[in-house]
C-alpha cells in the first residue's frame, strides 16, 4: 500500500495530461474543437483523476471531495474565448471558476478521443456488436513537423548535419540522425556588399554542393535554423522549410458489419438494454434487416450520408439526430437509431479509466457518479 500511495503522490498534472494526449492525440481533433489541458498547472500534484462527460458544478464538488487534482471532461467546458471568470454561473464558463478556485486542473479529449483507436466510437461499436472495417472519414492531422533542406559544400556537410542533429533534427521514430544527401551544383552571383566564402563577388560562380535534408519537430525549428546559420560556411546559407503533412489516420465514426444480423427493432432494443435507457429514437421500420452499420457517437448530423464509406450502410447508430437530419436519413432510405447524446459518449469513460490505471499505477482514477445527462425521459 505504501508504494501505491507514494506512486500516486509523485504524479503531476502534466504526467496525466501527457498520457491522455498519447491515448487521444490532440492533432486528431476537429479544427473547431478545443482539446487538451484547458486549465491548471502541469507541475501541480495529481494523486487522483475524475472522468466525466460534462464538467458541472456537481462534478467539480465530487472531484474536490475525492481529492482529485484533475478532471477529464469529455466535453470541453470552454469552447470559445472567455472575457472574464467569476464565481458560479459565469457566462460561457460553467464550473470553471469552481475548478480553478479548488486548484483542480481540467483536461478535455473530445473529438480527439472520438477519432483515436480504442476511443469513443470504437467503444460504442463494440457495444453495438460491430466488427469494425474502418472509419466514416479519415482525419487529416495538423502538421507537427517540417523538413529543412540546406545546400552545403561537401567539406562542411558533416559539420552542418551534426549541428542540426544536436539542435533536435533527424528523429524518425526510434531512429536518430536521419538525413538525405544528394550531390549537385549550385550557382550564385555576389553583389558589391557581399563577402563570398567561395569565389569572388561580382562574378557568377558554380560550386559543388550537397542537398542536405532532414525532418525537424516544429518546436525545434528555430534552434535548427540557428544551427544552420551558425555552422554553415556561407555568408548567406540557402535553405528551404517545408511543412510535413502526416499520413491520414482513422477519424470520426466507425463502419462495419454486425457480428449477428438483426432487425432495426431488435438492434434498438438491444442498445436500450445495454445502455440502460428508458427509450431510444428510431428512423425506419423496426422490421428492416440490418447487417452493415455506421457508428458515430454524439451527433452524427448528415456525415454518414456524405461519406462513401458509410453511405451504403443499412443503419446509423448515433447519439442524437436533428429533425431535418432525420428527414434526410428517411429520404435516403437509411435507417437510424439515436440513443441520446450523453448516453452514446458515457461508455468510453470506463475504458479510458482502465487505460489510465494501466499506464499510471497507483493513480486514483474514478468515473464520476455526479455526471448526469442534462435531460431525462419521463
Distance CA 173, CA 145 (A): 13
Measured CA to CA, the distance from residue 293 to residue 313 in angstroms comes to 5
- The rounded distance, in Å, linking the Cα atoms of 133 and 250 is 11
Q: Which CATH class is domain 145-244?
A: alpha beta
Flag residues of the chain having pLDDT under 50. 1-5, 91-92
Cβ contact 140:101 at 8 Å? no
pLDDT value, residue 259: 94
- Percent pLDDT > 90 in the chain is 73
CATH of 2-110+347-367, one of 3.40.50.620, 3.40.50.2000, 3.40.1390.30, 3.30.465.10: 3.40.1390.30
- Cα–Cα distance, 295 to 322 (Å, whole number): 16
Residue burial 263-275, b: 16+ Cβ < 10 Å; e: rest = bbbebbebbbeeb
- In angstroms, the CA 243 to CA 143 distance is 7
How far is 117 from 252, CA to CA, in rounded Å?
Answer: 10
Which superfamily, per CATH, for 120-139+250-338?
NIF3 (NGG1p interacting factor 3)-like (3.40.1390.30)
Q: Examine domains 2-110+347-367 and 120-139+250-338 and report if their fold is the same.
A: yes
User: Are the CB atoms for 296 and 253 separated by under 8 Å?
Assistant: yes
CA atoms within 13 A on the CB side of 323: 0
| Gap between the Cα atoms of 377 and 338, Å rounded | 14
> For the chain, which residues make up each domain, given as ranges?
2-110+347-367, 120-139+250-338, 145-244
Sign of the four-CA dihedral 75, 80, 82, 86: negative
Radius of gyration of the chain (CA): 27
Amino acid at each position: 500500500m505504501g508504494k501505491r500511495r507514494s506512486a500516486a503522490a509523485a504524479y503531476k498534472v502534466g504526467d496525466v495530461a501527457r498520457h491522455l494526449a498519447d491515448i487521444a492525440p490532440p492533432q486528431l481533433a476537429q479544427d473547431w474543437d478545443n482539446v487538451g489541458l484547458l486549465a491548471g498547472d502541469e507541475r501541480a500534484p495529481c494523486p487522483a483523476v475524475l472522468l466525466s462527460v460534462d464538467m458541472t458544478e456537481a462534478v467539480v464538488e465530487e472531484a474536490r471531495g475525492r481529492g482529485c487534482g484533475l478532471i477529464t471532461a469529455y466535453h470541453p467546458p470552454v469552447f470559445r474565448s472567455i472575457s472574464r471568470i467569476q464565481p458560479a454561473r459565469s457566462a460561457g464558463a460553467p464550473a470553471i471558476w469552481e475548478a480553478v478556485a479548488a486548484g483542480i486542473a481540467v483536461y478535455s479529449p473530445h473529438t480527439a478521443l472520438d477519432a483515436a483507436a480504442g476511443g469513443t466510437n470504437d467503444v460504442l461499436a463494440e457495444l453495438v456488436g460491430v466488427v469494425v472495417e474502418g472509419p466514416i472519414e479519415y482525419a487529416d492531422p495538423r502538421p507537427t513537423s517540417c523538413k529543412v533542406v540546406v545546400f552545403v559544400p561537401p567539406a562542411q556537410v558533416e559539420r552542418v548535419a551534426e549541428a542540426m542533429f544536436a539542435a533536435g533534427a533527424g528523429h524518425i521514430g526510434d531512429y536518430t540522425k536521419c538525413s538525405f544527401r544528394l550531390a549537385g551544383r549550385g550557382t550564385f552571383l555576389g553583389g558589391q556588399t557581399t563577402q563570398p566564402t567561395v569565389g569572388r563577388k561580382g562574378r557568377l560562380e558554380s560550386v559543388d554542393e550537397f542537398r542536405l535534408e532532414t525532418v525537424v519537430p516544429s518546436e525545434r525549428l528555430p534552434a535548427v535554423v540557428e544551427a544552420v546559420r551558425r555552422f554553415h560556411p556561407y555568408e548567406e546559407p540557402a535553405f528551404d522549410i517545408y511543412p510535413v503533412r502526416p499520413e491520414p489516420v482513422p477519424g470520426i465514426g466507425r463502419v462495419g458489419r454486425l457480428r449477428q444480423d438483426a432487425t432495426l427493432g431488435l438492434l434498438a432494443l438491444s442498445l436500450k438494454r445495454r445502455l440502460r435507457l428508458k427509450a431510444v429514437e428510431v428512423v425506419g421500420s423496426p422490421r428492416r434487416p440490418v447487417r452493415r452499420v455506421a457508428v458515430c457517437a454524439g451527433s452524427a448530423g448528415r456525415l454518414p450520408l456524405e461519406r462513401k464509406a458509410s453511405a451504403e450502410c443499412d443503419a446509423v447508430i448515433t447519439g442524437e439526430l436533428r429533425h431535418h437530419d432525420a428527414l434526410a436519413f428517411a429520404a435516403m432510405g437509411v435507417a437510424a437509431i439515436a440513443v441520446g447524446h450523453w448516453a452514446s459518449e458515457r461508455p468510453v469513460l470506463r475504458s479510458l479509466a482502465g487505460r489510465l490505471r494501466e499506464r499510471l499505477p497507483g493513480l486514483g482514477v474514478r468515473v464520476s457518479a455526479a455526471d448526469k445527462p442534462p435531460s431525462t425521459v419521463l
